[in-house]
A and B are shown apart, each in its own frame.
Chain A
Amino acid sequence: MKQLIIFDPEKCCGCKRCEKICSWVHDQVFSKARARVRTIKWETEGVYLPLSCFQCETPFCMEVCPVGAIDKDEMGVVIIDEERCVNCRLCLQVCPFGMIDFNPVTRQVVKCDMCKELGYKPQCVEECPAEALRLAPLDERAGLLKRRAAMETLRKQREMVLDKTTMD
């Protein structure tokens, strides 16, 4: 079944264990700089957003690759063929979400492969202590976003009602 990693910024506690395990799985070293999943932090606002490739339906990176080194596999995961890649970094330029990373040591473009080698069991999901990363069937994400949008509307309405009550 095609699956996606769902990121929940409200649960993320910012420990970066996802980054550590990612660099371990792919490079056998603990290095946040080499991770393909990143926890982006706004420390003054307390907003922590763990992110990795969304595995787009129509990936720009795949479209622009001049040597056809990027492809989607049977599980819907966008994979870079390292042998074919010439490191032109065009994919890095066009990804609208900045999800293609550049490994500063091997000097290669890299991206999340959903831990294909480990049977598509993303280790970042396994190791998250706050359950901020979750694996879900592809269809579920839309449902989650809808539910969240509905909750947000509800919360705002309730706040408005409460504000009014206190004003009266």
Chain B
Amino acid sequence: MYGWAGTILTIDLSKEQIIKEPLDMATAEKFLGPDGIGLKLLWERVPAGTPPLDPANIICFGSGPLTGTFCPNSGKMSSVFKSPTTGLIGVGAAGGFFGPELKEAGYDLLVLMGKAKKPVWIWIDDDTVEIRDAAHMWGKTAWEAIDIIQEEVGDVPTITIGPAGENQMFNAHALIMRSRSIGGTGAGAVMGSKNVKAIGVRGTKGVQVYRPDEFMKKCKEAKDKIINNPVYASFARYGTPGWTPTLITQGVMPTRNFQEGIFPEGEEFLDPETPCKEIFVKSDACESCVIHCGHWCEVRSGPYKGTKTEGVEYYAEYMFGPYMDCADWGFIVKASVECNSLGIGFGSAGMIAWLMELYQRGMISKEDVDGLEPTWGNQEVILELLRKMAYREGVGDILAQGWEKAAEKFGGAEFQPIITRLASTECPRARMDVALSHLTSVRGGDHNKSLPYFAWVCSPEYIRKNWPEWPKETADIYSPIGKPEIVDWTEDWKCVIDSLTCCYWSTSVLQAGGNSPADYAELLTYATGVEYDEEKLMEVGRRIAVLERAFNVREGWGRDVYQMSRMFIDKAFPRGPQAGVKADMKVINKMVDKFLERKGFDAKTGYPRKETLEQLGLDFAIKQLKKQGRIIE
């Protein structure tokens, strides 16, 4: 087998059975990798309407045909499940070393189904797969569990959950190694609901490619394209914190629960050189990466002195920085470590900022928060609330049930930054690329699915030259024109990337002269022996993107799921470049309509058109949706 490993490993936890099935090549060709193949399995194996934390839900982890090879930035993995956070499809990708190691052990996909009677962990050592007792790890933090596993079987890549996952907190994340995660949509809660504390893997089989000489030559070209890119130097030095100057210029820095778009009091804090001076020790990378956007971080002074971890990036920077009114890199590192070892996704940490706004407005009192005072920037309270959420103590138990339950208790739903059932990561008021991509994201409103970063990273000339069919306003992020086109394309492309599985940053951000779909089609052809070209590869992306959206329709989410929080519609930033700008739903909804029609869905109902599914060979989906009356014929 070339490129792919050729085996799907299913673990039935209820029956304590280990099932190895050969990968069907026709499926592999059409659905490429974990994002696609896993999605198809999810559709087939999980009945419509299954509650996400029910044993009948499944969770797939896997890596695609380029992972484990020498292809630059291919050290990724993806996961697919039904999300307990949103009720929509749960998809997520992560870096680290787990994906490549699983591939080297001989598996494309690992599927967990059912529910173990008692806490277990899964040990995969090439052909030997064991369901081991995890009583001694249950209740421990994710980092403690990793220590125990490494003591038992050696230094191997792991997926673990912390107490938040065990307690099925609504968006607990699955931690990959020590500092990378499949977060946002509750992968950790699904693992917790199945009583699976951890997965460890060791592989010695390796990965082979079909046309080795051409493949290696193309790998070299692909690497050169990345490192000769103008964005490369900044990315290699700063990682994602290198973007803050752009966001400051645009005036969209999420500050104090999106009340402000600028953070002048943290000017020095937001300068990308500051973390380089204060906490970054050296660069850090996922497997096969030539960019190394991660960092090894150590806090050298202050109350958190001695705290160290890999991988503090932009999300942590803004979430525990301006978003909660702190400007302290030591605290960013500390909070990241706490989130990772407790198993909490950064997205739910945003609930603390929401509580802070309610407290600022006098809508809640100290008594509501177990006697803690959630004033802006109160670091001790933030850390204590994180702990309470993970262990579901007091107010933490309410927060751990999700945004809706929390609003039932405290009110203030109009201050929750929810877009399409998920807490937003960026401000959609002025930027039309953010508004459309967040509102129509299949996993809920965040930047992980279809935000076209290259709209503002690349020059307008570049976009015009490569996509002459798009309107000339496409590169203008404040204009609604051209956004349906670029978001539609990006969504398809992201599905390809998550299935290959490669790093998003080696493509879209570095798109100007970076590796294009044609380049990846070539790599894929050489690796697998199956002929791909740009058109065929993008069709695979479209197939996955359409099926993901159709999955949401199957689960009952039509056009009315695309909802934006009132806080973005009714309120505006009081100062800065975007002062006074509110989200104009008339304009935005028009974009959504156009986007859905482009995607082959009906704008009114949000249901897919029959011919869309037909053209992509998704007949099984037609059958199911017909039964439910959720297809436009």
Contact = CB atoms under 8 A, between A and B. Distances in A.
Contact of A33 (B69, B75, B203, B212): B203
Interface string A125-152: 0000110000000000000000000000
A41 B281 CA distance: 15
A130 B283 contact: yes
B542 to A, nearest CB: 30
A14 B293 CA distance: 12
A14 B288 contact: no
Contacts of A104: 204
B308 A29 contact: no
Contacts of A43: 155, 177-178, 310
B208 interface: yes
Interface string A9-31: 01101111100110110011111
B203 A13 contact: no
Contacts of B625: none
Contacts of B206: 23, 27, 29-31, 33-34, 105
B598 interface: no
Interface in A1-58: 10-11, 13-17, 20-21, 23-24, 27-34, 41, 43-46
A41 B155 contact: yes
B55 to A, nearest CB: 33
A81 B570 CA distance: 77
Contacts of A41: 155
Contacts, number: 92
* Chain A, interface SS category: loop
Given A31-B104, A33-B104, A44 B178 contact: yes
A13 B308 contact: no
B511 to A, nearest CB: 20
A39 B408 CA distance: 51
B287 interface: yes
B177 A24 contact: no
A130 B295 CA distance: 13
B286 A28 contact: no
A16 B308 contact: no
B288 A105 contact: no
Contacts of A11: 282
Contacts of B282: 10-11, 13, 46
Nearest to A28: B212
Interface string A78-90: 0000000000000
B290 interface: yes
A13 B285 contact: yes
B285 A15 contact: yes
A125 to B, nearest CB: 15
A44 B206 CA distance: 27
A102 B391 CA distance: 45
Contacts of B205: 31, 105
B216 interface: yes
A105 B70 CA distance: 20
B283 A31 contact: no
Given A11-B282, A24-B70, A41-B155, A33 B204 contact: yes
B292 interface: yes
Interface residues of A, number: 28
A129 B286 CA distance: 12
B557 interface: no
Interface in B80-112: 97, 100-101, 104
A45 B308 contact: yes
Contacts of B207: 29-31
A44 B142 CA distance: 13
A122 B178 CA distance: 32
Nearest to B104: A31
A102 to B, nearest CB: 11
Contact of B289 (A15, A21, A23, A30): A15
A50 to B, nearest CB: 12
A145 B599 CA distance: 61
Contact of A46 (B212, B290, B310): B310
Most B C-beta atoms less than 10 A away, residue of A11, A44, A129, A130: A129
A20 B286 CA distance: 13
B284 interface: yes
A17 B284 contact: no
B260 to A, nearest CB: 35
Given A15-B75, A129-B227, A34 B204 contact: yes
B192 interface: no
B204 A17 contact: no
A117 to B, nearest CB: 15
Contact of A130 (B70, B209, B292): B292
Contacts of A16: 97, 287-288
A17 B104 contact: no
A15 B287 contact: yes
A13 B281 contact: no
A30 B68 CA distance: 7
Most A C-beta atoms less than 10 A away, residue of B155, B209, B296, B308: B296
A13 to B, nearest CB: 4
A104 B223 CA distance: 30
A107 B216 CA distance: 26
A32 B159 CA distance: 19
Contacts of A15: 75, 285-290, 292
Contacts of B433: none
A15 B209 CA distance: 20
A158 to B, nearest CB: 14
Contacts of B203: 31, 33
Most B C-beta atoms less than 10 A away, residue of A10, A27, A30, A43: A30
Contacts of A20: 69-70, 287-288
Interface in B261-292: 281-292
Nearest to B202: A33
Nearest to B178: A43
Nearest to B226: A129
Interface in B216-257: 216, 223, 227
Given A46-B281, A46-B282, A17 B288 contact: yes
Contacts of B286: 15
A14 B311 CA distance: 13
Contact of A129 (B97, B289, B308): B289
B70 A14 contact: no
A157 to B, nearest CB: 18
Interface of A: 10-11, 13-17, 20-21, 23-24, 27-34, 41, 43-46, 104-105, 129-130
13 contacts: A15-B287, A15-B288, A15-B290, A17-B70, A20-B69, A21-B70, A24-B216, A30-B70, A31-B204, A32-B100, A33-B203, A33-B206, A105-B205
Given A15-B285, A15-B286, A43-B310, 20 more contacts: A14-B284, A16-B288, A17-B289, A20-B70, A24-B70, A28-B208, A29-B208, A30-B207, A30-B208, A31-B104, A32-B101, A33-B104, A33-B206, A43-B155, A44-B308, A46-B298, A104-B204, A105-B206, A129-B291, A130-B292
The 6 closest A-B pairs by CB, nearest first: A31-B206, A46-B296, A33-B204, A15-B285, A29-B206, A13-B292
Interface of B: 68-70, 75, 97, 100-101, 104, 155, 177-178, 203-209, 212, 216, 223, 227, 281-292, 294, 296, 298, 308, 310
